[in-house]
Chains A and B, each alone.
Chain A
Amino acid sequence: MPAASPTPALRVTGLRKSYQDVVAVNGLDLEVRAGECFGLLGPNGAGKTTTVEICEGLTAPDSGEVELLGMHWSSDAKELRQRLGIQLQDTQLSEKLTVHETLRLFRSFFEQGPGADEAIALVQLEEKKNSRVGNLSGGQKQRLALACALVGDPDFLFLDEPTTGLDPQARRQLWELIEQFKSSGRTILLTTHYMDEAERLCERVAIMDNGKQIAFGTPRELINSICAEHLVAFSAGAKSQSLDLPALRKISGVRDVRSENGTVEMQVTELHLAVPSLLAELTRQNIPLTELSTHSATLEDVFVSLTGRHLRDE
């Protein structure tokens, strides 16, 4: 699919899906452009996996429409299967088989694509080629899962939480592989609850919560939308009860202040002005500072500002 085509690689309209008494997806619209890496973010239980599995043709929606590569699951399932690369959340491949045997098996399902050896080279598993899957590390297993998604030379790649549970080094290694695949001009839909992953890999993201899209745009646009470049967090120990929050809100350059479990978090536009004023104000209120930290705003802060909750602690 050429990048200039007006048809999006994936278009989802009015998607709804309920399980018994839980509404997993509640009227979702999405559009993924050809050639981009699109991130679907949200906490666990936001409906990301259900959405992706509906797009992958594994789950039937209650209502709504999915158009993938200009085709529909109802009429073009066979053709679609050949053109998709899919990595599911926590699939355990057969432990008794070797890396090479596993890929040879998956390759046999597709009409075209790289051979098993080539796929192994793509994910840098050459040294483990003849190792049993059961003896691979978590990161190596995820790379094998990625290779299984790549053996069909897919036009569209679904990655459902590809780095969950991996150590930082293994995550970075997987990111590099995904970036390589991106540079070959194919489309990716990635779900994750790691905001740094989305910021690094995705051109555009949609944030989901409770089955709905609550924000949409490029990572930069979303960060800018909270109108604060920096976050300042401090802790006042035992005296935080007597803290005068409204006074803090009046400090120039401060956009918002919220207090949670004794820690105060402030969204700030001009760090160099806000911090000295904050220190002066705390001295005036006679509040001793036990901790102070600042960081640049991230997608995580976007989520917090939209929902009042953190992503990972649910």
Chain B
Amino acid sequence: MLPLFFVFIWLNILQSPKAIQMSETTAIPEIRAREAEKKSPRGKTFAEHALVQLTIVRFLETLREPEALFWIFAFPILLAAGLGLAFRNKPAEVLKIATTSPALTQSLQQEKLLAVQQMDPYDAEEALRTGKIALLAVPGENGTVVYRYDDTNPEGRTARMLADRAVQQAAGRVDPVRASDQFMREPGSRYIDFLIPGLIGMNLMGSAIWGMGFTVVDARRKKLLKRLVATPMPKQYFLLAYLLSRILMLVLEVGIVLGFGAWIFHVPVRGSLLSLAVVCLLGSLAFSALGLLLASRAKTIEAASGLMNAVMLPMWIASGVFFSAQRFPDVVQPFIKALPLTAAIDALRANMLQGANLAQLAPQMGVLAAWMIVSFVLALKLFRWR
């Protein structure tokens, strides 16, 4: 039934005056005929139904808000592109080290993962101190070698192992066991694979809460809510239309970020798309209900925006958008797990990266459903039309 609804909405947008102007040369007689038909006094057509009209209007308003479109569509993609580039897994990194003796330089150059530079002692110390090189190898007394490096820096420790292996092998050491390497560079374990589900979750929350909160408060401030209540419009249609247009936007906003990740970064979607859609839908409804609750009383944009930021900011930080929520202390984990954004992102990651099915996502779905029901019931109790 839902896809059918989208088709109707789409048809109706095509019939809007702008679209008519665009297709002036070709289709105008048919459209005129259809318009004339709609005006006939018998029962209303689908497009004339109040719920359909409210949904169309809501959807058009969102599409005509350039700033909102930027935050919903362009921003997550820019963020994903930027962070994806910054944290991309580089092919095995070559570490820079330095020596002060030609003999050591010669031995160390045998190791392909090291870039060796010969420096005079003063420059070498300076380079080590400022982090330009990871390790400095200097000859010690009686043919020994001294490695100078920062042992708290993983690069330094790696350089120590590589350099020592090269020095020992050059001096004639033979390894007792022959070893060979096989490389596994599978999508799914990179930062971008972690990031894309996080961004989708963040986007679900942001667009639902802003989309719901701002427009409701703005309409209340402009007394548009009061004006609508003065018509025979069934009040539940107003809220229902918000949810329906939200679902329409959802298809676009998740689709774009997901498509971008899959196309540019080959981010996997291992679970079924249907479960992914269900998770997104439930998440979006939960955040919309929360947005409605936040907007249920506020009379100014400032008040609403403060409230929404206060609710969203902790989740941006704690819910694991950019880094794993596991990093927070164990004591607060139950609270973090109970946040709707944590639940949404965990479910998205489990679906996309581990291929989890809906049954395995039950705990997260439960958290989202609870937020949805509680927020919605409270919002209906508190909501003011004026």
Contact of A109 among B60, B61, B64, B232 (CB under 8 A): B232
**A67-95 Cβ-contact flags toward B at 8 Å (1 or 0):** 00000000000100110101010111110
Q: Which residues of A contact B54 (CB under 8 A)?
A: 105, 108
Stretch of B149-157, B218-226, B287-295, B358-366 with 4 or more beta carbons under 8 angstroms from chain A? B218-226
Bound form: Cα–Cα A105–B219 in Å: 15
**B33-77 Cβ-contact flags toward A at 8 Å (1 or 0):** 000001101001000111011101100110011000000000000
> Given A101-B16, A107-B48, A109-B50, does the pair A94, B232 have CB atoms closer than 8 Å?
no
B64 to chain A, nearest CB (A): 4
**Cβ contacts A to B, 21 pairs, < 8 Å:** A78-B232, A81-B230, A82-B232, A86-B227, A88-B227, A88-B230, A91-B223, A92-B223, A94-B224, A96-B60, A97-B57, A101-B57, A105-B53, A105-B54, A106-B231, A108-B50, A108-B54, A112-B41, A115-B39, A130-B17, A148-B227
Contact of B232 among A56, A81, A97, A115 (CB under 8 A): A81
Contact of A92 among B64, B224, B233 (CB under 8 A): B224
Bound form: Cα–Cα A119–B52 in Å: 20
Tell me, yes or no, whether A4 is within 8 Å of chain B by CB.
Answer: no
Q: Which residues of A contact B17 (CB under 8 A)?
A: 98, 100, 129-130
Q: Which residues of A contact B52 (CB under 8 A)?
A: 108
Interface range on chain B (Cβ under 8 Å from partner): 20 to 34
A154 to chain B, nearest CB (A): 11
Tell me, yes or no, whether A152 is within 8 Å of chain B by CB.
Answer: yes
Bound form: Cα–Cα A209–B49 in Å: 43
Tell me, yes or no, whether B178 is within 8 Å of chain A by CB.
Answer: no
Bound form: Cα–Cα A208–B49 in Å: 41
Bound form: Cα–Cα A107–B53 in Å: 9
Q: Which residues of B contact A78 (CB under 8 A)?
A: 232
Tell me, yes or no, whether B327 is within 8 Å of chain A by CB.
Answer: no
Bound form: Cα–Cα A131–B79 in Å: 36
Bound form: Cα–Cα A148–B16 in Å: 19
A112 to chain B, nearest CB (A): 8
Which are the 4 A-B pairs with shortest beta-carbon distances? A92-B222, A81-B232, A108-B53, A91-B227
Q: A90-B223, A104-B48, A105-B54 are in contact. List 14 more A-B contacts (CB 8 A).
A: A56-B230, A58-B229, A82-B232, A88-B227, A92-B222, A97-B60, A97-B61, A101-B57, A101-B60, A105-B53, A105-B57, A108-B44, A109-B50, A110-B231
CB atoms of A96 and B50 under 8 A apart: no
Q: Which residues of B contact A86 (CB under 8 A)?
A: 227, 230-231
B19 to chain A, nearest CB (A): 11
CB atoms of A58 and B230 under 8 A apart: yes
CB atoms of A152 and B231 under 8 A apart: yes
Q: Which residues of B contact A98 (CB under 8 A)?
A: 17
Closest to B228 in A: A109
CB atoms of A94 and B233 under 8 A apart: no
Q: Which residues of A contact B39 (CB under 8 A)?
A: 115, 117
Tell me, yes or no, whether B18 is within 8 Å of chain A by CB.
Answer: yes
A78 to chain B, nearest CB (A): 7
Task: Tell me the A94-140 residues at the B interface (CB within 8 Å).
Answer: 94, 96-98, 100-101, 104-112, 115, 117, 129-130
Q: Which residues of A contact B230 (CB under 8 A)?
A: 56-58, 81, 84, 86, 88
Q: Which residues of B contact A81 (CB under 8 A)?
A: 230-232
Bound form: Cα–Cα A82–B230 in Å: 10
Closest to A79 in B: B232
Q: Which residues of A contact B222 (CB under 8 A)?
A: 91-93
Closest to A56 in B: B230
Task: Tell me the B347-386 residues at the A interface (CB within 8 Å).
Answer: 386
Bound form: Cα–Cα A98–B19 in Å: 13
CB atoms of A109 and B227 under 8 A apart: no
Q: Which residues of A contact B60 (CB under 8 A)?
A: 96-97, 101
CB atoms of A96 and B231 under 8 A apart: no
Q: Which residues of A contact B224 (CB under 8 A)?
A: 91-94
CB atoms of B48 and A94 under 8 A apart: no
Task: Tell me the B119-178 residues at the A interface (CB within 8 Å).
Answer: none
CB atoms of A96 and B48 under 8 A apart: no
B60 to chain A, nearest CB (A): 7
Bound form: Cα–Cα A86–B21 in Å: 32
A301 to chain B, nearest CB (A): 34
Q: Which residues of B contact A107 (CB under 8 A)?
A: 48
CB atoms of B223 and A94 under 8 A apart: no
A49 to chain B, nearest CB (A): 11
> Given A98-B17, A105-B53, A130-B17, does the pair A88, B226 have CB atoms closer than 8 Å?
yes
Bound form: Cα–Cα A202–B229 in Å: 27
Contact of A108 among B41, B48, B386 (CB under 8 A): B48
CB atoms of B49 and A108 under 8 A apart: yes
Closest to B18 in A: A130
Q: Which residues of B contact A93 (CB under 8 A)?
A: 222, 224, 227
Bound form: Cα–Cα A97–B44 in Å: 22
CB atoms of A94 and B231 under 8 A apart: no
B367 to chain A, nearest CB (A): 35
Bound form: Cα–Cα A56–B49 in Å: 24
Q: Which residues of A contact B386 (CB under 8 A)?
A: 58
Closest to A90 in B: B223
Contact of B223 among A88, A108, A110, A117 (CB under 8 A): A88
Task: Tell me the A130-159 residues at the B interface (CB within 8 Å).
Answer: 130, 148, 152
Q: Which residues of B contact A57 (CB under 8 A)?
A: 230
Q: Which residues of A contact B61 (CB under 8 A)?
A: 94, 96-97
Bound form: Cα–Cα A10–B42 in Å: 31
Q: Which residues of B contact A90 (CB under 8 A)?
A: 223
B226 to chain A, nearest CB (A): 6
CB atoms of A104 and B226 under 8 A apart: no
Q: Which residues of B contact A112 (CB under 8 A)?
A: 41
Q: Which residues of B contact A84 (CB under 8 A)?
A: 230
Q: Which residues of B contact A130 (CB under 8 A)?
A: 17-18, 21
B304 to chain A, nearest CB (A): 17
CB atoms of A109 and B233 under 8 A apart: yes
Bound form: Cα–Cα A81–B231 in Å: 6
Bound form: Cα–Cα A94–B50 in Å: 16
